[in-house]
């Protein structure tokens, strides 16, 4: 992994490091949003199940 980062850093062709940072930020926002949505839905399902049982 470290070698890949070194190659990306040294490579002047293609995408700039700032573009990689923007792509990483977008991916992180999507992942965090998805995890929060799934977590919220899972919490609702578990609460409904507990209410039905209890």
Handedness of CA 18, 24, 25, 30 (dihedral sign): positive
**Separation CA 3–CA 15 (nearest Å):** 17
The pair of three-digit structure tokens given for residue 31, joined into one six-digit string? 């992942």
Verdict on whether the full-model pTM lies above 0.75: no
CB 46 within 8 A of CB 54: no
In order along the chain (54 residues), what is the average pLDDT of each group of 10 residues? 75 74 95 88 87 86
Output the pLDDT for position 6.
Answer: 77
């Amino acid at each position: 992994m470290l070698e890949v980062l070194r190659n990306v850093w040294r490579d002047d062709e293609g995408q700039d490091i700032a573009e990689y940072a923007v792509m990483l930020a977008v991916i992180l926002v999507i992942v965090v949003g998805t995890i929060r949505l799934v977590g919220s839905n899972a919490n609702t399902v578990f609460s409904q199940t507990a209410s039905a049982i209890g």
